[in-house]
């Protein structure tokens, strides 16, 4: 999932200053699962803002809605009319969702309520960890299912570096050395050979951005438009 973190309250408060009607829009997918921008978090933020506004003598109307996804037009469409009744939208989606909202609501101001962090997994309750950097050319098959690009701070493809100590990374005593994990698992698999060779420089052109993906088969399968009679 895409893991996000709610922006600090003061930063949000500052960014919505001056709007008299504010709509907070949650996103029901990734950021809901990581407890940053789902229905509950929208409710919490709305109450916080209402309370602060009351204390500081501001009259602001705050609306709340949570969509299933903000990265897909069909989920945004039903609220476009309603959203236009507000002065601004505070989107609690990841950066992709915020942008699609801003496109569809143009020229309205759409403000981000989260900082988008990474593609990751739920490590344990309340803890998420990065696993993928969307490099565009997956190498997990060579590294026993442990990504050195995402999980080594220097993205070393020929590791481990000299800072691997007791299975931990020199950059953070709480961080596993990805290469210690790779070594251990390949060892268990009897496949250490796969790191006893030189991994060539990675082709980073697969990471060019803005990236775009087209599914030709899907486009071809779409029914052709009926010709105008």
Residue 121 in contact with other proteins, rule: CB under 8 A: no
Asked if 179 and 164 touch (Cβ cutoff 8 Å), the reply is yes
DSSP H or E run through 103: helix 95-105
**How far is residue 177's CA from residue 119's CA, in Å, rounded to a whole number?**
19
Strands 109-112 and 88-91 turn out to be parallel
Q: Which of 57, 141, 162, 190 binds other proteins (CB under 8 A)?
A: 162
Q: Are strands 2-6 and 114-124 parallel, antiparallel or unpaired?
A: antiparallel
Residue from 30, 42, 46, 157 in contact with other proteins (CB under 8 A): 157
Decide whether 27 or 144 has the Cβ nearer to other proteins.
144
Nearer to other proteins, 86 or 143 (CB): 143
Stretch that binds other proteins, among 26-34, 51-59, 95-103, 159-167 (CB under 8 A): 159-167
Q: Which is nearer to other proteins, 61 or 176 (CB)?
A: 176
Using DSSP, state whether 104 is helix, strand or coil. helix
Q: Does 192 bind other proteins (CB under 8 A)?
A: yes
Query: Does 66 engage in binding with other proteins (CB under 8 A)?
Result: no
**Binder of other proteins out of 65, 119, 129, 161 (CB under 8 A):** 161
Which of 52, 66, 43, 67 lies closest to 16 in space, CA to CA? 52
**Region for residue 57 given its phi and psi (left: phi exceeds 0; alpha: psi -120 to 50; beta: otherwise):** left
Window of 18-26, 39-47, 87-95, 165-173 that interacts with other proteins by CB under 8 A:
165-173
Query: Which CB sits closer to other proteins, 11 or 184?
Result: 184
Query: Residue 89, by phi and psi: left (phi above 0), alpha (psi -120 to 50) or beta?
Result: beta
223 binds other proteins (CB under 8 A): no
CA angle 176, 177, 182 (to 5 degrees): 110
189 binds other proteins (CB under 8 A): no
Interface mask (CB under 8 A) for other proteins, residues 199-218, using x and -?
xxx--x--------------
Which residues would be at the binding site for other proteins (CB under 8 A)? 153-167, 170-171, 177, 180, 183-184, 192, 195-201, 204
């Amino acid at each position: 999932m895409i893991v996000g973190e709610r922006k600090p309250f003061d930063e949000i408060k500052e960014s919505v200053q001056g709007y008299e009607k504010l709509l907070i829009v949650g996103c029901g997918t990734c950021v809901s699962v990581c407890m940053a921008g789902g229905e509950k978090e929208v409710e919490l933020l709305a109450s916080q803002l209402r309370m602060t506004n009351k204390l500081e003598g501001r009259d602001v109307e705050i609306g709340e809605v949570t969509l299933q996804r903000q990265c897909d037009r069909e989920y945004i469409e039903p609220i476009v009319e309603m959203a236009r009744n507000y002065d601004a939208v505070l989107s609690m989606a990841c950066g992709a969702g915020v942008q699609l909202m801003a496109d569809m609501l143009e020229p309205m101001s759409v403000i981000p309520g989260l900082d988008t962090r990474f593609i990751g997994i739920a490590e344990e309750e309340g803890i998420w960890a990065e696993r993928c950097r969307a490099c565009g050319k997956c190498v997990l098959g060579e590294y026993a299912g442990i990504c050195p690009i995402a999980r080594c701070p220097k993205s070393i493809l020929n590791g481990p570096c000299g800072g691997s100590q007791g299975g931990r990374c020199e950059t953070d005593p709480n961080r596993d050395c990805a290469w210690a994990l790779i070594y251990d698992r390949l060892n268990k698999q009897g496949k250490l050979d796969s790191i006893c060779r030189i991994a060539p420089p990675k082709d980073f052109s697969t990471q060019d951005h803005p990236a775009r993906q087209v599914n030709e088969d899907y486009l071809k399968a779409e029914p052709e438009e009926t010709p105008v009679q």
